[in-house]
Structure 1
Amino acid sequence: MNKQFQKIYLDPYLFFSIFLISSLGLFFLFSASNGDIGSVIKQLVYVIIGLALMVLISQPDPDVFRRLSGAFLLFSFLLMGITYFFGPEINGAQRWVRIGSISFQSSELMKLAVPIFLASFLFNKQLPIQRKEIMLSLLMVFFCFFLVYRQPDLGTALIVACSGLFVLFLSGLSWSFIGGSFILLVISSPFIWNILLQPFQRQRIATYFNPDSDPFGASWNIIQSKVAIGSGGLFGKGFGEGSQTQLNFLPETETDFIFSVIGEEFGFLGVLLLISIYLFILLRCFYLALSARDRFCRLVIGGLSLTFAANLIINLCMVVGLLPVVGMPLPFISKGGSSLMSLFIAFGIIMSMGTHKKFLPQ
């Protein structure tokens, strides 16, 4: 039998590091949930399914993803439409699709569909890419951003926008265009503030600039997060011993602010270990991008890797007060099935792009 059909396409370094950080996530979740074994078991099921799904998705040739990129994007649009018209409203937002007893966040697929489609659209275009191609790409990215923003979900919408813009940047976008776009963004900031942002989003930004304005209201979350992280010191207070966490001063300990739990209970050294694993994952992805077989694979790996990095950076900056609070989970650590599954799918695609090589004729 041809050796081509015997090989398992899997990057062992990336697989092991993701397995390690997912396992650590279960450990941290047990403490963050005050010992709720039910939450940990549910998350464990997601991790097991996700790891299997990641291995399965890494097997097809990258050309399969390129040919199906348009269909994948249309399917994501369909799910967003179903969410908009039929999704249940939870806390004033429609973000979920329910099929029987299973529910998932449809916008998570958009974070994958946008960069893959743009990579397929741009990979064979002349460099530098032409203005027509840039404008078509930007229109598509803005449309996808707006669909997610309308749920409303500004955090995920920003990640969707970044996922497309990263691919556009890696495709050869000129620095003059980037500079001009930044100036345009600054000029349009009053319109964004008054028209696009919801009242609660404006409140979060105002709280960011003046966190002491409402310490028992809008500023409570970020103040408690800073206290938790700062009180951890070098070695932390110990597993299950964080006062901010265990006495319920810290909000959303299982999702958005689980990094604060880690900082309080495991200190600087625990945080350093976690960030080191994240950095290894990113560096490995960049290596796979540089050694990928063609431009399409490099664009997909680069786009998905930078999207993962943006998700990570936004969460870390949010919990220490460097960015306004948005709903952004910590990758592979925070509780939640939809975001976790999308991460495993993304890294399955990355491994497919990084491990398949062109076979030379014998």
Structure 2
Amino acid sequence: MNEGLGGRSARAHHHFFSGSYGQTFKFDIVLITLTMLLLGFGLIVLYSALGQSWSGLLNQAIRLCLGLGCLMLASQLRVSTYYRWAPTVYAGTIMLLFAVAVFGVSNKGSQRWLDLPGLPSFQPSEFLKISLPLIVGWYITTRNFKLKFFDYLALILIVGLPTGLVFLQPDYGTALILLIGVAAMLFLCGVRLRWFGAGLVLVAISAPIIWNFVFRDYHRRRIITLFNPERDPLGAGWNIIQSKTAVGSGGLSGKGLFEGTQSHLDFLPEGHTDFIIAVIGEELGFVWCVALLCCYLLIFSRLMYLSTTATNGFGYVVGTGITVIFFGYVLVNVAMVLGLLPVVGLPLPLVSYGGSSAITTMAAFGVALAVCTHKQDLEK
């Protein structure tokens, strides 16, 4: 037994109790360590961004503990459990998205939140970072990775329905990231490039229609302002200007923790959520921003390693989708803060304040660990 444990330690997979589902519970020490470092760093920065509010910090800490619990629980489940329940989880997410369209809570021009009796408000679109990779992986696996013409049409419907509902909320950033994640899954499964080319042609054809009839006025202003924020410095360009000012004023080493002026004097909007990295840049400087991005890159690399070494095809597809979607959130958020993309209202995973994003991200990590590291017959 000691030799077996030593072998597993060398592979960074540790077992600490026998699960009630008939298999040993695993976790990856590298991924868990990086995640814990990110969470700890995020809490320190949030304490400053929240104006040194202990109540806000405690609320976030409780959410993160819940997220870690979800990670551990998700890691314990069998691969076959995820395979069997993938359609049900997907259907449940679709129902929640329809509920948002009918009963959702509007905030700042978007209807993304659901407020159910007895539950804290949450954002159902966050569940798609789990349910969408699961359903795409399930469908591809049921076809033995041999997709025909009608299979592609089915996948377009499977992916297009939830993505379209998210797009109409409107939540363009999340919709874009989900599409990129699915595209990566299909590419790694050997889908021919001509299908991606057809998709790009479809996007190019539909772009004028989306611009004129789907985008709202303030979304068009955000895109136009992206190229010249000074055109509307007190309106659509305000967020980008203040964010760049915060990051630039921090220099290499920053002004010091709790010493940021843009955030603490309320020049920087949403400093504790969407623009948290601007607070980091101002108070801790360029060096800590790079360190943070390196941590994200290490998590991405570890998840990709686990996905590409998965013991089953289902795990390979699902793990890849979860990984790309996670890193997509990071890239889009950073690009938004730096003014490289329009402001789309996306949090920085595991660092920004909020429960829905943090909990679902850690649950997704648990799913990736389960489907990529457990040796299971999908039909069990």
TM-score band (shorter)?
over 0.9
Could you tell which deviates more after superposition, 350-359 or 217-226? Answer: 350-359
Normalising by structure 2, we get a TM-score of 0.90
| Equivalent residue, structure 1, for 2:70 | 53
Q: How many residues align?
A: 359
| Equivalent residue, structure 1, for 2:240 | 222
Q: CA deviation at 1:126?
A: 5.3
| Equivalent residue, structure 1, for 2:301 | 283
| Equivalent residue, structure 2, for 1:121 | 139
Q: CA deviation at 1:217?
A: 1.5
| Equivalent residue, structure 2, for 1:341 | 359
Q: Which amino acid aligns with 1:159?
A: I
1:270-303 CA distances to partner (integer Å, 9 max, x unpaired)? 1111111111101111110121111110000000
| Equivalent residue, structure 2, for 1:42 | 59
Equivalent-residue separation in structure 1 for 2:18 and 2:60 (angstroms): 37
| Equivalent residue, structure 1, for 2:14 | none
Residues 221, 251 of structure 1: 8 Å contact kept: yes
Residues 1:305 and 2:323 are matched in the alignment: yes
Instruction: Output the aligned Cα RMSD.
Output: 2.0
- Fraction of identical pairs, as percent: 38
Equivalent-residue separation in structure 1 for 2:313 and 2:271 (angstroms): 41
Q: Which amino acid aligns with 1:311?
A: Y
Q: Which amino acid aligns with 1:47?
A: L
Residues 128, 172 of structure 1: 8 Å contact kept: no
Could you tell which deviates more after superposition, 52-61 or 134-143? Answer: 134-143
Equivalent-residue separation in structure 1 for 2:338 and 2:37 (angstroms): 25
| Equivalent residue, structure 2, for 1:168 | 186
| Equivalent residue, structure 1, for 2:153 | 135
Residues 1:11 and 2:28 are matched in the alignment: yes
Equivalent-residue separation in structure 1 for 2:206 and 2:113 (angstroms): 31
Q: Which amino acid aligns with 1:64?
A: T
| Equivalent residue, structure 2, for 1:75 | 92
Q: Could you tell me which of 311, 330, 333 is aligned with 1:315? A: 333
| Equivalent residue, structure 1, for 2:7 | none
Residues 1:94 and 2:105 are matched in the alignment: no
1:36-82 CA distances to partner (integer Å, 9 max, x unpaired)? 21111100000111111100110011111011000001111111222
Residues 1:202 and 2:220 are matched in the alignment: yes
Q: CA deviation at 1:131?
A: 2.2
1:1-29 CA distances to partner (integer Å, 9 max, x unpaired)? 99895732111111111111011111110
The secondary structure found in structure 2 opposite 1:123 is helix
Q: Where do 5+ consecutive residues of structure 2 fail to align? A: 2-16
Residues 129, 364 of structure 2: 8 Å contact kept: no
Aligned pair in 2 of structure 1 residues 79, 319: CA closer, same or farther (>3 Å)?
Answer: same
Equivalent-residue separation in structure 2 for 1:236 and 1:69 (angstroms): 46
Aligned pair in 2 of structure 1 residues 117, 6: CA closer, same or farther (>3 Å)?
Answer: closer
Q: Could you tell me which of 257, 281, 293 is aligned with 2:311? A: 293
Q: Where do 5+ consecutive residues of structure 1 fail to align? A: none
Normalising by structure 1, we get a TM-score of 0.94
Residues 1:158 and 2:176 are matched in the alignment: yes
Structure 1 stretches of 4+ with a deviation exceeding 6 A read 1-4
| Equivalent residue, structure 1, for 2:41 | 24
Residues 79, 376 of structure 2: 8 Å contact kept: no
